[in-house]
């Protein structure tokens, strides 16, 4: 399991729309949610977790909140750091590239929706080929709170890279309304099932009412 940053709301942009402004209480809430979720999927100490840092505005300087949450959930008191800014790792031969901030967003015009993100994925693919670097089969990014899935195909038509903008776990707040009032929030999760080196990705987003209409 990989968490992709912004595990708490933090104290950001002078927003007042949080349940509590106490960071320790927000961290307690994150630990409670994560432990409940892990229990539901029968997570054991032999299973692996990777903790990716998010935005300093949410996770604090040096992603201190992510680090504290990770240590509590994993019951880890060792030296060193558990969180990391980017994770590239193979799971049964399938290479993942996971970080919080994407190189391109979904786009703000309907007729261009997804083009920039897909172009960025193609750039990653060709750059890796030219550099002789391993090509990630899955590229996971977050931050935008908007779900998106795009692929890169080879000249033979095979899918060689799949990129996700991961959905979030919150709707728009007062800060988002200042920056992107028309944006649509996605609530959900992405999973990849790997068996014998073959990967199948799946996702679930929850339909939510974005901006209710008042009937007069």
Give the tens place of pLDDT for each residue, 117-156: 999 999 999 999 999 999 999 999 999 888 999 999 998 9
CB-CB neighbours of 141 under 10 Å: 25
For residue 177 the two structure tokens come to 């309304």
Quote the CA–CA distance of 141 and 163 in Å, as a whole number.
Answer: 8
Domain spans in the chain, listed from the N-terminal domain onward: 1-84, 85-207
Q: Is pLDDT at 86 greater than 90 in this prediction? A: yes
Residue 179 pLDDT class (50, 70, 90 cuts)? confident
Quote the CA–CA distance of 29 and 20 in Å, as a whole number.
Answer: 10
By three-state DSSP, how is residue 195 classified?
Answer: strand
Quote the CA–CA distance of 191 and 211 in Å, as a whole number.
Answer: 28
Residue 96 pLDDT class (50, 70, 90 cuts)? very high
Q: Is pLDDT at 45 greater than 80 in this prediction? A: no
pTM: 0.90
According to DSSP, residue 168 is labeled B
Is 34 in contact with 74 (CB distance < 8 Å)? no
């Amino acid at each position: 399991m990989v968490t992709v940053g912004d595990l708490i709301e933090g104290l950001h942009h002078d927003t007042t729309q949080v349940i509590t402004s106490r960071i320790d209480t927000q961290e307690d809430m994150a630990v409670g949610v994560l432990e409940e979720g892990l229990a539901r999927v029968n997570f054991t100490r032999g299973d692996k977790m990777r903790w990716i840092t998010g935005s300093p505005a949410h996770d604090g300087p040096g992603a201190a909140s992510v680090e504290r949450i990770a240590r509590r959930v994993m019951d880890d008191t060792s030296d060193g750091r558990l969180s990391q800014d980017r994770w590239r790792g193979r799971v049964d031969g399938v290479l993942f590239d996971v970080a919080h901030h994407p190189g391109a967003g979904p786009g703000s015009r309907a007729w261009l929706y997804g083009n920039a993100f897909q172009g960025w994925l193609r750039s990653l693919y060709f750059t890796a080929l030219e550099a002789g670097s391993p090509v990630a089969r899955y590229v996971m990014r977050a931050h935008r709170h908007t779900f998106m899935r795009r692929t890169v195909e080879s000249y033979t038509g095979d899918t060689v890279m799949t990129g996700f903008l991961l959905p979030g776990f919150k709707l728009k707040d007062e800060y988002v309304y200042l920056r992107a009032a028309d944006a649509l929030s996605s609530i959900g999760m992405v999973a990849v099932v790997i068996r014998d080196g073959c990967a199948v990705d799946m996702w679930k987003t929850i339909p939510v009412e974005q901006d209710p209409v008042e009937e007069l």
